[in-house]
Structure 1
Amino acid sequence: MSYHADDAKAIEIRPDWLQSYIDSPEKQRQLYKRTLIIVVLSQIFGGAGLAAGITVGALIAQDMLGTDQFAGVPTALFTLGSAAAAYIVGRLSQRFGRRSGLAAGFLTGGIGAIGVVIAAITNNILLLFASLLIYGAGSATNLQARYAGTDMASSKQRATAISTAMVSTTFGAVAGPNMVEVMGEFATSIGIPALAGPFILAATAFILAGLVLLVFLRPDPLVVANVIARVKSKEEVNLSIETPRDTQEINNHGVVLGTVLMIVTQLVMVGIMTMTPVHMRHHGHGLSEVGMVIGIHVAFMFLPSFFTGILVDKIGRSAMAIAAGITLLAAGVIAAFASADSMAGIITALALLGLGWNFGLICGTALVVDSTLPTTRAKTQGTVDVLIALAGATGGVLSGMVAAHSSYAVLSLAGGFLSLLLIPVVVWSRNK
């Protein structure tokens, strides 16, 4: 079923199956639970696909180009690709539903991962860069899938729904980096460069995630949520219930605050994370150690999500936004001053970096969901995720340049102190 959120006939003409969801709160609750299960399954695969790029993307470029200065370019490219994909997936989801938008994004990301493997085999740097752009679609979709769980959630369930989707990403995202060496050995055994091995896993994982959504995400939660919202809106008009004059202003304010929060956390996280594998390799750490550090980092990006969601719902958005800034600052300081030979110091810094990102993303996402209506939500979410991806691309590009012209320690400190911007932003929002 093709669905357009602006189609006024959607309220008057609808099939019996859709009417049954409108009439039954119990069926709505069942759809919410079913949607979460499907999203969880797709996120397990999606997380594995996501991990390849952040673990070995910079190392592939370093080997091909023979310099560290552009080692951040792969991260920048797949985050730029994810920016374009976020925009497209958001609009596809708004028009046709989550199923079509998310499935298309994951399948496209799988094609990009295949391109990276071919580029590594042929040592073609231009194909590598083009493929990383396409691979970014999987990264964007993996992030946007967190919204699908909120479509049928009540206002008190939203952060928890977001966190459930993100927790499930952990299983694949942690397994991915820790399979770097195994996949590298497998790739070598079939005549493919070792660093391309994780992208073989990424291609398989993204394609499986897309197929899960395409086959099982029925009925589409966003389609149902949109029509229910329109029915309620029509009923309120008929009952002459007035909407507060400042509703739109409040909505816009919440979207801005949530967006700024996610942009800063993404910029800081990507900047430090991108150069950590390169920093480790310079100090004699092997691929297995790099994979372990990134695996722990990714675990802290996603695994605490369930508890984070509960905290965001219970103690409030502002408190968790401040916690995000403080945690990222701690990560930057530890990364800067920890001995490069100390695995414990690097692991602690990257764990805190992931945790701070987790706080910021779940809190910011909840603010955006709180501040949008179902009839325009997916489109707005797509636009917000474009800005987040662009922040990641900026962090990826600048990280290599800053580290090459100064040091990893300077990069880490800069990221940590940048995160302190979140505190005045939250204070400003409270005074509005």
Structure 2
Amino acid sequence: MATDLTLPAPSRPDVARIQRRTVRLLVATQTIGGIGVTIGFSVGPLLVARMAGTAMAGLAQSAGVVGAALLAVPVTRIMSGHGRRPGLVTAYLVGAVGGVLVVLAAATGQVPLLFLAILFFGGGSAANLQARYTAVDLAEPARRGRQLSLVVWATTIGAVAAPNFAALADRTTSGWGLPPLAGPFAFSAAAFALAAVVLLVALRPDPLLTARRLAAAEAVAVAPAAAIPVAAAPAAAPEPGAADGGPAGTGRRGAGLRAAWRVVRERPAARLGIAAVAVGHLVMIAVMSMTPVRLGEYHDDTAVLRVVGIVLSLHIAGMYALSPVVGWLTDRVGRRPVILGGLALLLAACAVAGSAGHHTPGLTVGLVLLGLGWSGTMVAGSTLLSESVPTEVRTAVQGLSDLTMGLAGAGAGALSGFVMQAAGYPTLTVLAAIATVPLLALALRPAAPGRASDEEG
């Protein structure tokens, strides 16, 4: 077991220092990784549309999201056994391999290889998503929303500028003999590799392993006060996870998807957290993935990359730039109200974008609202989920959440191209709005007695 509970637990001042250092490091790597993810996903639909047709363009986003979702399972397994650092490094390296393969597929004209490459490319997105959970491993309960949102916000620095770098990257690599739209993925691969190296070298001590040592030390400190004579002691109920093998809190066994699903099924707060993250991502992917294609309907090839860059930059600013405010609201007013606010923004986004026609400023406003709604559901839902499940299954539940989110987004991305071709962009936004109804019903359901603390932090 990589989590050595015999090592001394750090003092509280040391924990605060480790947490500050961890968050600063995550801010740096999220900036680098955000550049890689956003360059790829802003250009991907255009590259697929060029190579395979408009109907297949949504599958570009879908393949990347599926890759991120599927990779979340082995990455969280690695984290459960060995800590956050090797899991994050693995995800970024897989994303770098994917970026290289996209360049190869574009150069050779191989469409099947292109989709396989985008699947691997999703590794960079998986790492960026898992980093938000790394930020709360050692966070104080009253600051979990803000710490998580700060790491989400860090993506803004690279992501807002990244779409505008796409045209520059394309021009730069055209001199290397690469086909149009392939060069940006070479830059993405380099960004992912750099993020992996920084984490490998600098994410020490590992925040998840440190949190487990702290939990073990606190359990030992509390045990003497609760001790009773052995002869009179009743048989203790096994701690969650212990029945599946290994001491409770180690996260070795019982930390798979089956155990995670059992825990989520029993906890309304966890169900709401997963649903908020998944539905928000589904709506965002469905609308955002077809926006470059929508813009391509009335902009020529020389202008479309520039316009797409501007629109997606503002959309990504909506996703990330105000996330510290969203995190502060999550801690102050509660998780559920922020989830409901995010839903309201998603519905407004669908209405504005769907009615904008070929009016780029109106479409841009809709995409900004879409990003803000995603931020609300992502930050509040992730915070609620992380604090509503036991420590020993937390990484597995977080992996289940990212898998669910990814599959929901992948389904939306896969269908969006066909809906766009068959019925148009306005119909796509209407269907995306309808998809929020189940989450709205779940979020409006009154909290069960005794569960309020779970859902409001």
* Pair 1:264-2:275 in alignment: no
Alpha-carbon distance between aligned partners in 2 of 1:419 and 1:40, rounded to the nearest angstrom: 31
**1:149 aligned to which of 109, 117, 135:** 135
* Pair 1:401-2:388 in alignment: no
State the shift of 1:54 in Å: 2.1
Equivalent residue runs for 1:246-257 within 5 Å: 252-257=267-272
Any idea what SS the aligned residue of 2:219 has? helix
* Pair 1:177-2:195 in alignment: no
Alpha-carbon distance between aligned partners in 1 of 2:383 and 2:67, rounded to the nearest angstrom: 24
Equivalent residue runs for 1:201-212 within 5 Å: 201-212=187-198
* Pair 1:373-2:396 in alignment: no
Q: Cα–Cα, structure 1 residues 62 and 40, in superposed 2: closer, same or farther, change >3 Å?
A: same
State the shift of 1:424 in Å: 1.5
> Which residue of structure 2 lines up, in the alignment, with residue 317 of structure 1?
335
Q: Once the two structures are superposed, what CA deviation does each residue of 1:240-289 show, in whole Å capped at 9, x if it has no partner?
A: 299999x9789722211100111110110000000000011011252100
> Which residue of structure 1 lines up, in the alignment, with residue 406 of structure 2?
389
TM-score by length of 1: 0.92
Q: Once the two structures are superposed, what CA deviation does each residue of 1:386-425 show, in whole Å capped at 9, x if it has no partner?
A: 1111111011101111111101000012112322433221
* Pair 1:29-2:25 in alignment: no
Number of residue pairs matched by the alignment: 416
Alpha-carbon distance between aligned partners in 2 of 1:396 and 1:325, rounded to the nearest angstrom: 19
Q: Which amino acid counterpart does residue 332 of structure 2 have in structure 1? A: K
> Which residue of structure 1 lines up, in the alignment, with residue 373 of structure 2?
356
Q: Which amino acid counterpart does residue 292 of structure 1 have in structure 2? A: I
Equivalent residue runs for 1:165-244 within 5 Å: 165-240=151-226
Alpha-carbon distance between aligned partners in 1 of 2:307 and 2:265, rounded to the nearest angstrom: 47
Deviates more, 1:180-189 or 1:352-361: 180-189
8 Å CA contact 1:265–1:357 kept in 2: the answer is yes
* Pair 1:274-2:289 in alignment: yes
> Which residue of structure 2 lines up, in the alignment, with residue 80 of structure 1?
66
* Pair 1:43-2:33 in alignment: no
Percent of aligned pairs sharing the same letter: 34
**1:96 aligned to which of 72, 75, 82:** 82
Q: Which amino acid counterpart does residue 28 of structure 1 have in structure 2? A: V
8 Å CA contact 1:77–1:132 kept in 2: the answer is yes
State the superposition RMSD in angstroms.
Answer: 2.1
> Which residue of structure 1 lines up, in the alignment, with residue 259 of structure 2?
none
Alpha-carbon distance between aligned partners in 2 of 1:416 and 1:335, rounded to the nearest angstrom: 11
Alpha-carbon distance between aligned partners in 1 of 2:266 and 2:318, rounded to the nearest angstrom: 30
> Which residue of structure 2 lines up, in the alignment, with residue 305 of structure 1?
323
Alpha-carbon distance between aligned partners in 2 of 1:420 and 1:304, rounded to the nearest angstrom: 25
TM-score by length of 2: 0.87
State the shift of 1:198 in Å: 1.6
8 Å CA contact 2:170–2:182 kept in 1: the answer is yes
Alpha-carbon distance between aligned partners in 2 of 1:363 and 1:269, rounded to the nearest angstrom: 16
Alpha-carbon distance between aligned partners in 2 of 1:429 and 1:142, rounded to the nearest angstrom: 33
Structure 1, gaps ≥5 residues long: 5-9
Alpha-carbon distance between aligned partners in 1 of 2:224 and 2:94, rounded to the nearest angstrom: 44
> Which residue of structure 2 lines up, in the alignment, with residue 7 of structure 1?
none
Alpha-carbon distance between aligned partners in 1 of 2:357 and 2:55, rounded to the nearest angstrom: 22
Alpha-carbon distance between aligned partners in 1 of 2:197 and 2:174, rounded to the nearest angstrom: 28
8 Å CA contact 1:321–1:422 kept in 2: the answer is no
State the shift of 1:231 in Å: 2.2
Q: Which amino acid counterpart does residue 324 of structure 1 have in structure 2? A: G
Q: Cα–Cα, structure 1 residues 250 and 156, in superposed 2: closer, same or farther, change >3 Å?
A: farther
8 Å CA contact 2:264–2:389 kept in 1: the answer is no
Deviates more, 1:358-367 or 1:419-428: 419-428
Alpha-carbon distance between aligned partners in 2 of 1:194 and 1:429, rounded to the nearest angstrom: 53
State the shift of 1:428 in Å: 1.6
8 Å CA contact 2:9–2:210 kept in 1: the answer is no
8 Å CA contact 1:108–1:134 kept in 2: the answer is yes
8 Å CA contact 2:9–2:214 kept in 1: the answer is no
* Pair 1:345-2:331 in alignment: no
Any idea what SS the aligned residue of 1:222 has? helix
8 Å CA contact 2:264–2:397 kept in 1: the answer is no
> Which residue of structure 1 lines up, in the alignment, with residue 245 of structure 2?
none
Alpha-carbon distance between aligned partners in 2 of 1:396 and 1:90, rounded to the nearest angstrom: 24
8 Å CA contact 2:39–2:165 kept in 1: the answer is no
Q: Which amino acid counterpart does residue 13 of structure 2 have in structure 1? A: E
